[in-house]
Structures are given as structure tokens and as C-alpha cells.
Structure 1
Amino acid sequence: MTIPARHDTTHPDAARERERWAASSDAWDRWADPMADLADKLNRPLLDAAGLKEGHRLLDLASGAGEPALSAARRAGTDGLVIGSDIVPGMMAGAVRRARGVQGPAPAFAAADMTALPFADATFDGVTCRFGIMFVPAADAALREVRRVLRPGGRAAFMVWGPRAGNGLFLEIGDAVADHLGEDGSLEPLFRYAEPGLLAETMRAAGFADTKFRRF
């Protein structure tokens, strides 16, 4: 399936974000297979939160090298439809490669800016986004688009990082980078929605009627 990309060019940081992810697409592809087991552990609670069942239609945003879209397709089954999307077509090259080796249902992939999704209203039963919404400059516009493409009663599930102080991995990486390169703030976007309940509040402002968060 090929779906034309639409881009929101109104935000001044949008082009910079696309360039940044395009530059790292090869690295994400290289690490996708070695990280598959860890990815699956992250995928399961996200897909549960989205209420994904066999036969559902699901849109996965910021799919990168293919997860959780690949896992979602197995859960949705042959009667369902999963579309993995990313703002950078190059990021999805690894996803397409991995999908070719899948036995059973596989997702379709589409280049899509989540602030200007190329899908009709009320198309999907669920929308997921794993560690992506924090990088979107106009996140409020993205959330409104997510709500638009969801059917009435559909669910959107987002996974974001908690506070940096409680995350040993990023704390160590951040200190090491700062020691060698100085403080550059490159990790800060990861923790944009680290405050408990902040993303749920932002979703309510975008029109979602019932929101909640869970800490893992």
C-alpha cells in the first residue's frame, strides 16, 4: 500500500525534526533486530492500552524501523489492518525490510506527518505512538489529528519516558555525553511529557473525553 505523505510546514521546527531523524535512519535500521526482544516488552502494554483486538484497524505513528506496527499486525490478524507511519520515509526502509520476513499478517507502511495525516475521518479503531509524540513541535495539532482519524469510541495510546532522574539509562548517557561534549540539551525532548499526567492533560485539551496514564 502506498499513501502519499502530507506535511505540516507551519511550525518552524518541523523541517529540522525531519532532517534529524533522516540522518539517523540507517542506525535505527541496524539496531532494529538486536533490540526486537526489548521492543516486544514495550509493545505489549502499549497495544493493550490501545485495546487492540483481532480484526481492528490500527494506525501506528512514528513507527521508525517497524515497531510496534509489526507486533500490532500479528495481534490484529488477517481480518484487521495495521498501518505503520513515519514522517521520514527513510526510517521505514528497515520496517519494510523486516515486514518481508514476517510469517503471517504484516503491516502496511506510509510516510505521514502526524500533524497532517493522510487518512479520512473515523478510519481507525486505535492509534498508537511509542516514544514519538514528545518530538513533535506542534503536538497539540498532532493530537487533534489523532482524534479526527479515530472512530467514535476508539482509543489512542502513547508511551513516553518518565522523569530523567528516575531513568538510570538516560542519566548515565547524559552524564557521559556532557563529560565529552558539554551540556547540549539533546536529551531534553525525551522528557517533555515526563511529569505524571501532563500528556493526559494535553490530550484532554485536544478533545479526548476520557484520559488516564499508567506508570511502568
Structure 2
Amino acid sequence: MLRALGHPTSLAGLLLGLAAAVVAGQLAQRAIGWLLRVRFAPSEQAGALRYVDPFGIVAAAIGGVGWGTTLRPAGRARAGAGRACLCLLAAPIGAAAAAAACLVGYVADGGSRATVAAVTVGDVLPGALLPAGQAVLLCAGLEAIAIAILLLVPLPPLPGWRVLCTLVRPTLGWQRVQFQLEERNIGVAILLAISVIPPSGPGPILVRILDAIVGAILNAAA
């Protein structure tokens, strides 16, 4: 997002997309948890901080796409594995819903559907040369849908990783992998590395991968 500092409307849109994706994700998790009677582990933070993941903010600032905190179902009983997975997957679904709302708003404000299908997060990071309202909504929608896809990646601390942990039997080998990725923060290190490398050229590895997936989804939906 630092690349968008020269374009305040684009920066505002990217920040809006990040906030909307994180908040909508948690709201969706709470709604599904209430329906399925799944309890969540208590948050370590209070107020607005319960949405903030420091590493996710760093990734967003440097690479353009980051993440916030998501709710973790309490307990590890395998009998409730299916319900726990649904609660975890509600986070990317909520983020995708926020993205859809922003993109629909962009089109309703006079934006082109062809632009939605053709433009990606990597394209708007340096700034979107559009009217202010359209720039904010387009950037927010692209950021939110990129986050929705990112949340499915099976690396901690993302929900995709927790889904994998819920489904995998805890063998000794798996516990070693889990220790390395979670307790030693290797999973976070991998996410931060691909959010930064390479620092120049067409953009970080993570943004390019997400752009390819987002482009395919928006082309299919257009």
C-alpha cells in the first residue's frame, strides 16, 4: 500500500478493502458459529485491536495485500470438525461478500464492468486514475477479494491452515511440522517473504499469484 501514497483515493480504497474484509470475515464467522452452536476461543485483544494482526498489517503495507485476525473455534473434538471448518471458511466468504458489495457499488457509480474484469490489485497499487468515488470502491473491492483468496492459503495464521489442522490427524510428524510453522513463526515468515520478494519489477510473488486468481474469477463473473 505504500506504493499508493501518491494517490490518496486509491490508498483509502485499499485500506477500506482491508478493513471491510477483516470485519466482514469475523461477522460471518460469528453468524455461522451462532447457527451451528460453535464456541470461539476468547480474543487476546479488546476493541478494534481484536481485528488487527501486526504481521498482516506489515504485509499489507509493504506488499499491498495483508490479513487481520480471524476467530478460532474452541476445542479440538473431531466430532465437531465439520462445523469448525465451516466457521473457519466463513471468514473468506465474508471477505468475498464485502468485495462483491464494493464492486457492485463501483459499477452502480458509473464504473465499467470491463474494468472490473481487466484490472487487478497489482494494477491499482500504484494508484487508480479514476474519479474519487470509483477509485475508492474499485480498490476496496479488489483488495477485499484478494484477501478472501489469501485466507484460504494453508499457512499459519490464516484460516486455511486451521482448516487443514482440523482435518489432519495429529501424528508425531505432523506435530513437528505444526511446531515449526506456528511456534517458530516460519509460516508467517514465508507469507511475509512472498509479500516482499521481489521488491521491484512486476510486483511481489504473492500479489502476482493473487492477481492471476482474482483475474480468472472476475473474468468468469463479468
Q: Which bracket does the TM-score occupy, shorter chain normalised?
A: under 0.3
The structure showing larger relative contact order (alpha-carbon pairs under 8 Å, at least 6 residues apart) is 2
- Bigger Rg, which one: 2
Structure with the higher helix share, 1 or 2: 2
